[in-house]
């Protein structure tokens, strides 16, 4: 599967960070976001001239910019010279993302693995890949699929497995208010698509 340019944001055009303004993805307009948050607070009946709220619009804009901007990285692979054919599995990778329906966080752990073909990743790249797609307005199902598609596109492995387990604040803090619930999503491809001992190594 190919990954669209929209799904894989540029990691080269971020602004330099400073004490007052975080590094941000292209397209993020911090002054406009700050003004909009001030208007939003007024619409909620809050006095933005209150000393405790004076700097809140800037802080909120900076926080969302940070949560929507992945860290710069590269996707260097290296040859599988030893012909390793077993499962490469990294468990319990923590991630945070933002629900695109409520702009509330969801957070949990990812379990990411693949059966190598001709190329290998450094193990840290599996965690960085999860972060790349998590730092967006997301739904968990799409996030799971994007990580799996990225591995397929980058490595051409014999199989991929991605399992995400997360608690959604839009369920915990509002609506049903089911605190502590966990949502599990998974994608398995290739030689991991069917049940068996390799797939059984994934949690759940």
Per DSSP, the three-state class of 175 is coil
Tokens of 155: 């490595």
pLDDT single digits (tens) 27-55: 899 999 999 999 999 999 999 999 999 99
Residue 11 has pLDDT above 50, yes or no: no
Read off the pLDDT band of 23 (50, 70, 90).
low
Read off the pLDDT band of 2 (50, 70, 90).
very low
Residue 90 has pLDDT above 70, yes or no: yes
CB atoms within 10 A of CB 173: 13
What is the average per-residue pLDDT within 135-159? 97
Phi and psi angles of residue 125, each rounded to the nearest 5 degrees, phi first: -65, -25
Q: Which domains does the chain have, with CATH numbers?
A: 1-72 (1.10.286.10), 77-201 (3.30.1130.10)
How many Å apart are CA 151 and CA 129, to the nearest integer? 9
CB atoms within 10 A of CB 82: 8
Bin 144: left if φ > 0, else alpha if -120 < ψ < 50, else beta: alpha
Tokens of 40: 């939003």
Express as a percent the part of the chain with pLDDT over 70: 88
Query: Taking the model in full, what pTM does it have?
Result: 0.85
What's residue 180's pLDDT? 80
Q: Strand pairing partners for 159? A: 115, 190
Residue 173 has pLDDT above 50, yes or no: yes
């Amino acid at each position: 599967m190919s990954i669209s340019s929209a799904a894989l944001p540029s990691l080269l055009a971020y602004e330099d960070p400073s004490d007052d303004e975080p590094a941000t993805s292209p397209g993020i307009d911090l002054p406009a976001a700050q003004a909009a948050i001030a208007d939003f607070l007024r619409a909620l009946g809050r006095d933005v001239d209150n000393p405790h709220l004076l700097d809140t619009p800037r802080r909120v804009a900076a926080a969302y910019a940070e949560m929507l901007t992945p860290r710069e990285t590269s996707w260097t692979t290296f040859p599988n010279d030893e012909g390793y054919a077993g499962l490469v599995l990294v468990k319990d990778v923590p991630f945070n993302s933002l629900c695109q329906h409520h702009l509330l966080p969801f957070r949990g752990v990812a379990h990411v693995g693949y059966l190598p073909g001709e190329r290998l990743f450094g193990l840290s790249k599996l965690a960085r890949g999860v972060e790349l797609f998590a730092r967006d307005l997301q739904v968990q199902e799409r996030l799971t699929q994007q990580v799996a598609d990225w591995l397929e596109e980058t490595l051409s492995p014999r199989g991929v497995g991605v399992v995400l387990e997360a608690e959604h604040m839009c369920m915990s803090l509002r609506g049903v208010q089911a605190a502590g619930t966990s949502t599990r999503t998974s994608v398995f491809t290739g030689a991991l698509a069917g049940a068996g001992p390799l797939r059984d190594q994934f949690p759940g």
